């Protein structure tokens, strides 16, 4: 099978793993990269043996059929719309867009042009969560009835070279890390029917301590501690807590899934592997479950590669734009519910993505 030619727009902090893993998968070949800072794009191009160019040059290249959009969150929709207008499929880093309206525009334009939209996170395609999906489908914990999910830390200003965007609208722990948790829950339980929550800003200013921005004062413009409740259309009720305000750390599990016959500990959804543990109602001990699927290391980019394979073969892709929009709407719905003191009924839905079949090699993506 021929490989889909891919161009990368945005050559910042996260792009390196996309270039590295782009060489691993059977379905796509990264051939060019671009950035608003052309010198940065040229440096990244030289490092990974691809062509460096301007955004305009990349979008005009007829050889490139798909764009991987790694720009900052506030630019995701604008770049995606440019790529679609240029006749290219687009796979974006999360979140899909900075607003629900922008997210809708991206999906509507793609539909009108017969093009595909995909979006990170793709960690749910890793061996850890794929194993959990297999166990749920095989009935190891019975009928799912609920879940808890916790993402709590002290914020990224201590390590990230450019932490300001984390504290602007479209950032914060819910929009930065929430997509990992919500996407994992949707992949396990299906779409969400309604949400509610409470959100606040614990510290109006943050002080950067990373080497690149040491001492810089950052004004916080978006909630940094959000407690939410999610009702799933299939019946389960989940609690999700996301925070940049937990300075002392936490020992709570990342995700636990509760069923009529047992409990499952789901690995950190920001990783591709991790430990899966199950305790059934008739057991006094937790059991460590071997992973049933490969892709347990850092396979970031597998969602884009799966989308490329789907474009080549005509099947559906797993990290879909529809699921990303559903997650985006849920996050905004949580903030709306907090502001209005009510529940937010979801308007969108999505298909629970098809699990990977058993037995695939680490670089393989199935038919």
Cα–Cα dist 278/264, whole Å: 4
What six digits make up the tokens of 315?
């099947």
Cα–Cα dist 107/31, whole Å: 25
Provide the whole-model pTM: 0.94
* pLDDT string in tens for the chain (367-residue length): 689 999 999 998 899 999 999 998 889 999 999 999 999 999 999 999 999 999 999 999 999 999 999 998 889 999 999 999 999 999 999 999 999 999 999 999 999 999 999 999 999 999 999 999 999 999 999 999 999 999 999 999 998 888 898 998 888 999 999 999 999 999 999 999 999 999 999 999 999 998 888 999 999 999 999 999 999 999 999 999 999 999 999 999 999 999 999 999 999 999 999 999 999 999 999 999 999 987 667 899 999 999 999 999 999 999 999 999 999 999 999 999 999 999 999 999 999 999 998 877 666 677 6
């Amino acid at each position: 099978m021929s490989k889909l030619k891919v161009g990368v727009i945005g050559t910042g902090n996260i792009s390196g793993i996309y270039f590295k893993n782009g060489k691993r998968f059977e379905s796509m070949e990264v051939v060019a990269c671009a950035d608003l800072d052309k010198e940065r794009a040229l440096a990244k191009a030289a490092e990974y043996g691809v062509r460096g160019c301007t955004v305009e040059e990349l979008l005009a290249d007829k050889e490139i059929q798909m764009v991987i959009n790694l720009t900052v969150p506030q630019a995701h929709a604008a770049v995606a719309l440019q790529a679609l207008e240029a006749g290219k499929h687009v796979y974006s880093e999360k979140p899909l867009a900075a607003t629900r309206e922008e997210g809708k525009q991206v999906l509507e334009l793609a539909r009108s042009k017969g093009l595909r939209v995909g979006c990170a996170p793709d960690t749910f395609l890793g061996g850890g969560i794929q194993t959990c999906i297999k166990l749920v489908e095989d009935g190891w914990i019975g009928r799912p009835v609920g879940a808890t999910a916790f993402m709590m830390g002290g914020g990224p200003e201590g390590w990230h070279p450019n932490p300001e965007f984390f504290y602007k609208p479209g950032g914060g722990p819910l929009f930065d890390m929430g997509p990992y948790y919500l996407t994992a829950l949707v992949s396990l339980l299906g779409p969400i029917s309604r949400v509610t929550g409470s959100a606040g800003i614990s510290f109006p200013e943050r002080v950067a301590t990373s080497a690149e921005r040491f001492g810089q004062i950052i004004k916080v413009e978006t909630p940094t501690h959000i407690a939410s409740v999610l009702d799933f259309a299939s019946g389960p009720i989940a609690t999700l807590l996301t925070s940049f305000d937990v300075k002392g750390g936490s020992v709570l599990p990342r995700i636990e899934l509760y069923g009529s016959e047992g409990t499952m500990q789901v690995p950190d959804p920001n990783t591709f592997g991790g430990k899966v543990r199950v305790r059934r109602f008739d057991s006094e001990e937790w059991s460590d479950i071997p992973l049933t699927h490969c892709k347990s290391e850092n396979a970031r980019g597998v969602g884009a590669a799966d989308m490329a394979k789907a474009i080549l073969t005509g099947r559906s892709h797993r990290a879909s734009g529809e699921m990303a929009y559903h997650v985006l709407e849920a996050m905004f719905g949580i903030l709306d519910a907090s502001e209005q003191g009510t529940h937010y009924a979801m308007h969108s839905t999505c298909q629970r993505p098809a699990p990977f079949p058993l037995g695939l090699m680490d670089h393989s993506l199935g038919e």
